[in-house]
Structures are given as C-alpha cells and as structure tokens.
Chain A
Amino acid sequence: MAKRPRRILRRRWATTEGWRGTRAGMWAWLVQRGAAVALLLVIALHLRNPFIRPVQAVLLGLVLLHALLGVRAILLDFGLPVRWHRSLLVLAVVVGAAIFAAFWGWRWS
C-alpha cells in the first residue's frame, strides 16, 4: 500500500490567527526587513529627484530604523543579555526618533 504523505501544519500568515502570537522580537525583525525593502523604493525615488522634502524625510526615517535595529541585532550577537531585547527595541525607536527630530530641527525647520 502506498504510504500516505505526512501532513504538517504551518502558520498561515494571511489569517489573523497567524499573527495573534506575534511579539516584540518578531516585530523588530519584520520592521527591519520591511524598512530594507521600503528603502529600495524610496532610494529610487530620491535618486530621481533628491530635493523632495517628504521623500528625504521618509528616507532618513527608514535609514535610522533599519540601522538602529541592525545595531540592536549586533549587540545581541555580541553577548548583550537576550532578556534586554524588548528594551533595546524601544531604545532603537526612541534614539531613531530623537535623531530624526534633531536633524529636522537643524536642517529642515
């Protein structure tokens, strides 16, 4: 008799239930990857015309988000306690917002 193929369930990301258990660590990873993909688009827009203020602002925001979440991952890789990962996520977002606000005040206001 032919052996029946194994049935293995996988999380369905197209359903709300698939996202219900999503926590900070997963969001940090997703946001960093999402920012990387969005950067490709925004860099293309920026190269067409570098003087559009909203595009400049989004570009700076995405670069900060992507870079600081990357720093968070590197710090964890280098041995910072994993239990700090939520605090590091919050810190990355806060530092990013502060740099963005400071740059805005310095160059664009």
Chain B
Amino acid sequence: MVLKVFRWTPGFRERIQRFWVPAREGMTVLDALVDAQRRLDPTLAFRYACRVGMCGSCAMVVNGRERWACRTLLKSLRTGIVTVRPLYHFPLIRDLVVDMAPLAEQNARVGGAFVPKEATPAAARIPAGAPERGRIDPAIECIGCGMCVSACTMVANDERFPGPAALNRLYTLQADSRDGAHEDRSAVMLSEDTLTRCHTEMNCTDVCPMGISPTASILALRRLAVRGLFR
C-alpha cells in the first residue's frame, strides 16, 4: 500500500511524501506509520502512546476524516492509497504532530473547571440513577483527542468560538447541581461567539471516537441559556 504523509518542518515548505509499506492482515494506520518510520525515514514525526485506543494521542486526518490511527484498520479504508495529515485548526509542530494547547485555552475561556458550591458537603454525590446523571454521563467521557475541534468548520471561521470540546465540557458543568459557577459562565454562554456560532453540522459528533455528541451538549446549553434568560 501507499502511504501519502504530510511533511512539514518549521522554515521549510510543506510536502506530501509517499511511503510504500507492505500491508498485512490486521494492520492499522499507526502500524503503517511506525513501519515507514523504522524502515524508510526515521525523521518522520508523529505522536502515539497507548496504541490501543485509550489515550487519543494518535488522532490525525486519515483519508480526509479525523480518526485515531491506532484504531483505523487499513482494510477498513478500502483503498490502496492512504493519505495522512495532521489535525486541522491546531498549530503545527512538525509533520503529523500538532500543539494541543488551544484545547486547554478554549476550555479555560469557557470556565471549564469545576467550582464546588460552598454549601456542598464533601461527600455529596449524584445517585447513579438520577436524571441529572443521565444527562451528564453521555458527555463526560471526553479524553481531549481534539478530533472534534479539527472536524468543526466553525472553529476555522471564528477564532473566538471555543469549539465543541470546550462546550461539551461546559455542558457537563452547567448541568451539574454541585457546581457553583453557573451564573459566572452565563455571560460566556450568551456571547455571540459561543453557542450561536454552532451551525449543527454534526461534524464533531460524527468523528468522536468516544461516542460523545458535542452537538447535543451545545443544543442542551442553548436550552439552558434561554431558560436562564426567563429566570
């Protein structure tokens, strides 16, 4: 198979480099990249850690779509030519490696940290069967791989838009009755560059490997924001 890989080093022009890699049964895109790096070009830079779909660090754009390289079987792509590019909307460091700092910056911008209510006892818990937990649970499993941010077209058009990952985090906090900063975040929620910027294109939802729907979280935040206006 042919691996077409985006190559870029600061100060040099970008290029697409082709690697011929022997495809084996059960081979993933990450396996192919490791093979290319070990046999053909040790300068090829890409990031990975767990190799089993736990950490999300091998997120990249494979054949035009955000995927985890370690969980993408070459066979599933049904093509002999596989194009690999770094995630969109993140600053490039080198080749397929991007700087994930914007994810933390976007999170900070929306106040994405839990602020306990003063009156909450230390042992306060939301029961497993509580409706509140049912609303939060589907959104809580984000591991910050950044694929939703890469897939979101609005992130590309408005740099003040916090992006799907940060807004999904925001929803988990705004829906949490133990959190005491709901009012503080309402100004962010109602600003013109936050919830209204989402055009419900579902690109983030389509690519999330954890099965999270940031779109659903953003729509739920909109309803919370509107309800807040009438309180």
Considering only residues 65-79 of chain B, those with a C-beta below 8 Å from chain A are 65-66
Q: Is the CB of A7 within 8 A of B200?
A: no
Given contacts A10-B88, A76-B219, A82-B215, contact A4 B10 (CB under 8 A): yes
Q: Which residues of A contact B156 (CB under 8 A)?
A: 10-11
A-B contact pairs, 18 of them (CB 8 A): A6-B91, A11-B153, A17-B64, A18-B64, A20-B63, A21-B63, A21-B65, A21-B66, A21-B206, A26-B153, A26-B202, A73-B200, A77-B219, A79-B219, A79-B220, A82-B205, A82-B215, A82-B216
Q: Is the CB of B89 within 8 A of A21?
A: no
Considering only residues 173-231 of chain B, those with a C-beta below 8 Å from chain A are 199-203, 205-207, 213, 215-216, 219-220, 222-223
Judged by a CB distance under 8 angstroms, whether B85 is at the interface is: yes
| Range of interface residues on A (Cβ < 8 Å) | 20 to 34
Q: Mark B150-186, 1 if CB is under 8 A from A, else 0.
A: 0101001000000000000000000000000000000
Q: Which residue on B lies nearest to A18, using beta carbons?
A: B64
- Which of the residues B8, B220, B222 comes within 8 Å of A7, measured between beta carbons? B8
Judged by a CB distance under 8 angstroms, whether B11 is at the interface is: yes
Q: Which residues of B contact A19 (CB under 8 A)?
A: 64
